[in-house]
Amino acid sequence: MNRHLRHPDRAGTPPRGRRSAAALLAAALLLGASACGGRATTHHKPGTSHEQATGSNGRLLTADDGSGNRLRQVDAQGAPEVTVAARPDSEDGWNVHLAVRNFRFTPDSVGGAALLGRGHARLFLDDHPLARVYGTWFHLPKSLLRTAGGGTRLTARLYADDHTAWAVGSAPVQATTTLGGATSTAPAPTLGTTVEISVHDGRVSPAPGRTEVRKGRTVRLEVRSDRDDTLHVHGYDKEARLPAGRTVTLTFTADRTGLFEVETHESGLLLTQLVVR
């Protein structure tokens, strides 16, 4: 925890004077564009095309952020700042918190022109893009981590509305934290049983077997199917959609004893049997 986390609202709001100036500037730009430019040639409002706008906010550098978005350099004084913290969730994955300074999340105007101190954040896992974030809190499910290929280094980087990355001194404004390590051994997962199953071409791997579960413990089923399907736990009547190629996690508490079958509905495959004693 750093000091920004304690005052997220204040930290996220730029100074009042700068804010109104920026708003006036934006209004002037919009008015000017619509007054002089006549009809726009596309359905996009002026300044909202897919091209990276070269607004007067900062200086576009030729360098990019590593994934094709150019950097937008601003003065260190009053530049956006970010710190990131992640803590394990009791059920699944991580809760990620971004603390920002001199920055506001503006999901409404994404795709528009870059305005200083506004935009969104992006999360990267070992430099692979993970998600775009429009707020300070974000739940990061394990399935998403797996889809991204796994990793432990979580980076949050701030972007302007036109998808250029804010930068100070030629380096993007970003913060990095490590997933796992000492904080990942949360008490909840150790009490439960995790079963990972994948279905490919009508074949279940690992081959259907029995999973012993102590009554009252948490069962986490992490299932990945190569076709759209429905996951069903008999007896507990838990169901989850299984979109093709995505890992779906179904978590529940095994509160009844017995032998219960976990299966897919469309393909009618038995995945495993839960032996709850």
Partner 1 sequence: MTALDDSGAVSVLAHGIGAQHDLPLSPFYAFAGAFAALFVSFLALGLLWSASRFRGDRAGRPLPAAVQRAADARPTTRIVVRALGLAAALLVVLYLVLGPADPERNPAPGAVYVLLWVGLVPASLLFGPVWRLLNPLRTLHLLVCRALARDPAAGRPLPPRLGTWPAAAGLLAFTWLELVAPDPASSTALLLFLALYSAAQLAGGALYGARWFDRADAFEVYSGLLARLSPLGRRPADRRLVLRSPFNGLDATPQLPGLVATVCVMLGSTAYDGFSDAPSWITTVQTSALGRTTTATLGLLAAVALVAALYALCAGATRLLSGQLPHPLTAFAHSLVPIALGYLVAHYFTLFVTEGPRTVMVALGTDNPASPGPPLGPGGVATLQVLAIVLGHVLGVVAAHDRSVRLFPPGRAVAGQLPLLVLMVAYTIGGLALLIA
- Interacting residues toward partner 1 by CB under 8 A: 202-204, 207-210, 234-235, 237, 256-261, 263-266, 268-270, 272-273, 275-277
User: Considering the complex, what minimum distance in angstroms separates the CB of residue 255 from partner 1?
Assistant: 11
Specify the residue, 56 or 257, whose C-beta has the smaller distance to partner 1: 257
Specify the residue, 4 or 232, whose C-beta has the smaller distance to partner 1: 232
Question: What are φ and ψ of residue 185, in 5° steps?
Answer: -80, 65
Examine residue 15 and say whether the peptide bond preceding it is cis (omega within 30 degrees of 0): no
d(CA 252, CA 240): 12
Specify the residue, 15 or 209, whose C-beta has the smaller distance to partner 1: 209
Q: Tell me which residue of 204, 210, 229 sits closest to 273, measured CA to CA.
A: 210
User: Considering the complex, what minimum distance in angstroms separates the CB of residue 245 from partner 1?
Assistant: 20
User: Considering the complex, what minimum distance in angstroms separates the CB of residue 229 from partner 1?
Assistant: 10
Specify the residue, 27 or 259, whose C-beta has the smaller distance to partner 1: 259
For 236, other C-beta atoms within 10 Å of its C-beta total: 19
Specify the residue, 100 or 204, whose C-beta has the smaller distance to partner 1: 204
Indicate the pairing of strand 218-225 with strand 193-200. parallel
Q: How far is CA 56 from CA 22, 59, 100, 195, in A?
A: 11, 7, 22, 53
d(CA 46, CA 24): 17
H or E segment to which residue 187 belongs: helix 187-191
User: Considering the complex, what minimum distance in angstroms separates the CB of residue 49 from partner 1?
Assistant: 46
Specify the residue, 245 or 258, whose C-beta has the smaller distance to partner 1: 258
User: Considering the complex, what minimum distance in angstroms separates the CB of residue 186 from partner 1?
Assistant: 30
Question: What are φ and ψ of residue 186, in 5° steps?
Answer: -70, 150
User: Considering the complex, what minimum distance in angstroms separates the CB of residue 41 from partner 1?
Assistant: 50
